[in-house]
Structure 1
Amino acid sequence: MSTLRELWHAFLHAGRNLLPIIVVVAVFQAFILQQVPDNLLSMALGLLIVAVGVALFLQGLELGVFPIGKSLANQFARQGSVFILMGFGFAIGFSAVIAEPALIAVADQAALISDGRVNALTLRLVVALSVGAVMALGVLRIILGHPIHWYLIAGYVTVVMVTWFAPEEIVGLAYDSGGVTTNIVTVPLIAAIGIGLATSIRGRNPLIDGFGLVALAVMVPMISVQLYGIVVYSVGETESVQLADNGIEALHPLVQMLLDLATMLRDVLPILLVILFFQYLVLRRPLNRPRKLIVGFGMVIFGLYAFVVGLKMGLFPIGESMAEQLIQRDNWFFVYLFAFCIGFATTMAEPALIAVGKQAEEAAPGRLKGSVIRLIVALGVAIGITIGVHRIISGDSIHHYIMGGYLLVIVLLILSPKYIVALAFDLGGVTTSEVTVPLVTALGIGLASQIDGRSVLIDGFGLIAFASIFPIVTVMLYAIGVDALAKLRRPST
């Protein structure tokens, strides 16, 4: 009964996260567009399925995945082996990202739009290997006590340099791939490892040293995916790949459902294998409550399946439909207004942001407020998505926007107080939720497909990158402003 009660609460929580999007869409449909979208019933059913899928997925994580993950991290920290800790960091980073539903959605969209030139599974492997490697590096940084500033400055200078040489077809996709690595699965696992290590090692500060792993997990895939794009687009034209038209759609629905579930099992299996390997072969201890773990993983698989089905029925059509309807109004102001409102509303309801804000408030009592952080981050996301929409409308090159944005970030990184840097970058990584990513991706693709002269592959991707960059800017500007005010007030007291 307690599990069912928790599942019901998880469903209500998922529905509450969807509510801001529903309100924004309803207001625009009723007062600005004054029309009912096509396939309204299908979209509503899709949103309901998304809520069910997210509830099952999150409850499965809480039931089986997170307890064993935290237990392993604590046991390894007590053993004090740097090699084992780095290996565990790599394995958890890889296995969590390869199962990330938002990355699956973005990779599938990229493969479809590029006619198979960008391979969905290869893209996910590139991103997952990158996150695994940088997780191992991030764990080593916490152990050694290195300031994260130098890692971030060197990393983002590399990002800007690689962007200069990368083909325009891959840039937006690369930044979006980095943005979606920190989501339902990865944020809790990565944050738990970082803060757990910082609190267990003498001389480490949870605020300065514990945060930052999420930021690194966002940064490195941007580099690796662009390098992958340089390789892919340096070879000649590839033959178009269209798997969906080769008889798969003709399969019986039950067979198709079983195939989809088998795919989800393949996606979640790496996490289970990592846990079993480290538990039995490294620690040589039996699992506590193995039946609970099995039930949890079963809920994760069915939740992932429902999530993907709901995306196709609800969130992707909403984004594309709204983009088409707003463009037909021939008034770009409403497009900008919709982008701003969607960005702000979805971010304010983002559970990962709420959790990180609370952790920051606890790590720096009296200095940071979780509610203020959420407002500043939501404002940054809204501004970022609005600027990203302007880029699509104007047809400007994403290179200049991205490079300019990160150069600004590097400058602010040097000027900002040290306590805020790791947190600011982590906050930029948690703004892309399981709801925001598909809707924003669909909005970008919808705009690019409706505006003459725009390429869906070149112009459609990139909005997620803007949603990740500008919260970093607003949070660091906030910290700089707070410190400046404190210095002004100090002489008068």
Structure 2
Amino acid sequence: MELKERLKEKLKEAVSAVLPIIIIVLALCFTIVPISPGIMLEYIIGAVMLVIGMMFFTLGAEMAMTPMGERVGSSMTRSRKLWVMVILGFVLGFIITVSEPDLQVLAEQVPAVPNMVIILAVATGVGIFLVVALLRMLFGIPLSRMLVFFYVIVFALAALTPKSFLAVAFDSGGVTTGPMTVPFIMALGIGIAAIRSDRHAADDSFGLVALCSIGPILAVLILGLIFETDGGAYSMSSITEVENSVELGQLFLHALPEYFGEIAVSLLPIVVFFGLFQFFSLKLKKRPLIKILVGLFYTYIGLVLFLTGVNVGFMPAGNYLGQMIAALPYRWIIIPIGMVIGYFIVMAEPAVYVLTKQVEELTDGAIEGKVMKTGLSISVAVSVGLAMLRVLTGISIFYLLVPGYVAAILLSFFVPKIFTAVAFDSGGVASGPMTATFLLPFATGACLSVGGDIVADAFGVVAMVAMTPLITIQVIGLIYKLQEKRADAAAAAGQVVSLDAYADDAIIEL
């Protein structure tokens, strides 16, 4: 019965994430963008598979990734050996990232570089920076100093990296902190934080995801410096026109075996690692072990359905829609359409709901979840609008990301440290599955239509969405800090007034 309820809850979350996009797309198709019934059916079937895939995947990740992360983290803690933590931290970061669905979707869209090269480079970056994040927790190094240090290196490298790798690098930082990686890394952090008993230990348990999202950016920037490409043209799997229902069925059925094989290869390292850890260290009892294995099975089925729906129906339709809108005489309309999609994408993200509850608890209700959600939605809408403006005009992403990150890092010196950690952790929260699977293909389709440089102008939309929470949540933290100061000042003033109400001899008597 409990499983049935959890499946229902995950289905509700998946539907709420995808439904706003479906409604917006259908509204556009019935008004300004004429498309054939076949393409519309491909899109709807892809969306249904995506919803069912997300339902199984998120349930599986919750059943398997979170308990695995906590148990591995506590086991590493018990060893109290630094070299064990370093090796295990790297291996875990690497193998979890290889299985991240959002990364696979991004790699599929990057031209001139083989998918596996991108995936392995990004996974190496996450592995290295998970070790850096764990060491930061153990030695209590302030997060703001590390962010300044590493982002200075990021932007120095970005100035030297070829233009074709720049936007992809920042996009990879957003997609890696996805539904597979985040639960595991956060759970790992809780286990490691148990080593320290000082008052900052809880605060320092945040910030793991923040540092892990820097790793992929650096890895792809370095890849851009050393990887020789033939400058290959962008290639997107175009939407396939079907003539009848049998062709429609075959389109999806032929893709399923390919993804069954791909995902099996992606998940195999996690299964092997956990099996070895269980045999040599964990030695879990039968019941929790079966629960984790069932969770891994759900994760597998969910990933296969998710990627099949995305790659066959959902993503090509988003690309086609972007092309059609940008081909209209009034192509500027793609900016407000992108803003509306951005607003609803972040409103629907289940991870954003978790984040808003977290901040509400941190501030004892002083910052309402509703206020934060609205702030995030508006700021993500603005960032998507700017991303669409880039598609139309070709403005370099440098002119938007540099001021954004400078503002975010400067704010980190003025807001409570917990807000900085939560803000940088949540960079990947806003750029969830819908951003990589719909917004990115939508932007590439539009860029194709206006004759822009796909890799330089369309890529970067995930990076823009991921940057937004860094500023928004810290601004909320600043507001909270000012409210606290005012409350303290008012309380102090109240005490002075209450003393003034007494006569001098009464005060002496008191």
Q: Structure 2 length normalisation: TM-score?
A: 0.86
Aligned to 1:248: none
Aligned to 1:203: 198
Q: Is the aligned partner of 1:313 residue 2:328?
A: no
Q: Is the 8 A contact 2:342 2:384 kept in 1?
A: yes
Instruction: Give the distance between the partners of 2:152 and 2:21, measured in 1 at CA.
Output: 35
Alignment RMSD, CA only? Answer: 2.9
Q: Is the 8 A contact 1:175 1:465 kept in 2?
A: yes
Aligned to 2:350: 351
Q: Is the 8 A contact 2:367 2:476 kept in 1?
A: no
The change in CA–CA distance for 1:377 and 1:198 in structure 2 (over 3 A counts) is farther
1:95-142 Cα offsets, whole Å, 9 max, x none, are 1111011100110111xxx2xx31210110111111111111111111
Q: Is the 8 A contact 2:343 2:377 kept in 1?
A: yes
Q: Is the 8 A contact 2:367 2:480 kept in 1?
A: no
Aligned to 2:245: none
What amino acid does structure 1 have at the position aligned with 2:145?
W
The change in CA–CA distance for 1:284 and 1:293 in structure 2 (over 3 A counts) is closer
The change in CA–CA distance for 1:100 and 1:71 in structure 2 (over 3 A counts) is same
Q: Which moved more, 1:101-110 or 1:351-360?
A: 351-360
How does 1:136-175 map onto structure 2 within 5 Å?
A: 136-175=131-170
How does 1:4-403 map onto structure 2 within 5 Å?
A: 4-30=4-30, 33=32, 35=34, 39-110=39-110, 114=111, 117-198=112-193, 201-205=196-200, 208-232=203-227, 235=228, 237=230, 257-283=256-282, 288-403=287-402
Instruction: Give the distance between the partners of 1:355 and 1:159, measured in 2 at CA.
Output: 29
The change in CA–CA distance for 1:22 and 1:206 in structure 2 (over 3 A counts) is farther
Structure 1 or 2, whichever has the larger Rg, is 2
Instruction: Give the distance between the partners of 1:275 and 1:412, measured in 2 at CA.
Output: 40
Pairing partner for 1:459 from 450, 457, 460: 457
Instruction: Give the distance between the partners of 2:230 and 2:251, measured in 1 at CA.
Output: 34
Any stretches of 5+ residues in structure 2 without a counterpart? Answer: 238-249, 494-510
Instruction: Give the distance between the partners of 2:73 and 2:139, measured in 1 at CA.
Output: 17
Partner-residue secondary structure (3-state), 1:180: helix
Aligned to 1:437: 436
Instruction: Give the distance between the partners of 2:367 and 2:461, measured in 1 at CA.
Output: 28
1:135-184 Cα offsets, whole Å, 9 max, x none, are 11111111111111111111111111111111110111111111100111
Instruction: Give the distance between the partners of 1:254 and 1:319, measured in 2 at CA.
Output: 21
Q: Is the 8 A contact 1:163 1:403 kept in 2?
A: no
Instruction: Give the distance between the partners of 1:482 and 1:60, measured in 2 at CA.
Output: 36
Instruction: Give the distance between the partners of 1:81 and 1:338, measured in 2 at CA.
Output: 53
Pairing partner for 1:481 from 459, 479, 482: 479
- State the 1:476 CA deviation: 1.7
Instruction: Give the distance between the partners of 1:133 and 1:15, measured in 2 at CA.
Output: 35
What amino acid does structure 2 have at the position aligned with 1:11?
L
Partner-residue secondary structure (3-state), 2:433: coil
Q: Is the 8 A contact 2:137 2:193 kept in 1?
A: yes
The change in CA–CA distance for 1:84 and 1:359 in structure 2 (over 3 A counts) is farther
Instruction: Give the distance between the partners of 1:382 and 1:359, measured in 2 at CA.
Output: 22
What amino acid does structure 2 have at the position aligned with 1:209?
D
Q: Structure 1 length normalisation: TM-score?
A: 0.88
Partner-residue secondary structure (3-state), 1:435: helix
- State the 1:253 CA deviation: 8.4
Instruction: Give the distance between the partners of 2:251 and 2:326, measured in 1 at CA.
Output: 38
The change in CA–CA distance for 1:360 and 1:197 in structure 2 (over 3 A counts) is farther
Any stretches of 5+ residues in structure 1 without a counterpart? Answer: 245-250
Instruction: Give the distance between the partners of 1:240 and 1:155, measured in 2 at CA.
Output: 32
Instruction: Give the distance between the partners of 2:462 and 2:106, measured in 1 at CA.
Output: 10
What amino acid does structure 1 have at the position aligned with 2:58?
L
Instruction: Give the distance between the partners of 1:439 and 1:211, measured in 2 at CA.
Output: 29
Instruction: Give the distance between the partners of 2:251 and 2:20, measured in 1 at CA.
Output: 37
Identity, % of aligned positions: 27
The change in CA–CA distance for 1:49 and 1:489 in structure 2 (over 3 A counts) is same
Partner-residue secondary structure (3-state), 1:106: helix
The change in CA–CA distance for 1:136 and 1:286 in structure 2 (over 3 A counts) is farther
- State the 1:332 CA deviation: 4.5
- State the 1:288 CA deviation: 4.9
Q: Which moved more, 1:475-484 or 1:95-104?
A: 475-484
What amino acid does structure 2 have at the position aligned with 1:237?
D
Instruction: Give the distance between the partners of 1:484 and 1:283, measured in 2 at CA.
Output: 47
Instruction: Give the distance between the partners of 1:236 and 1:128, measured in 2 at CA.
Output: 20
1:417-451 Cα offsets, whole Å, 9 max, x none, are 33311111112221111222211111221121111
1:48-67 Cα offsets, whole Å, 9 max, x none, are 00011111212222333432
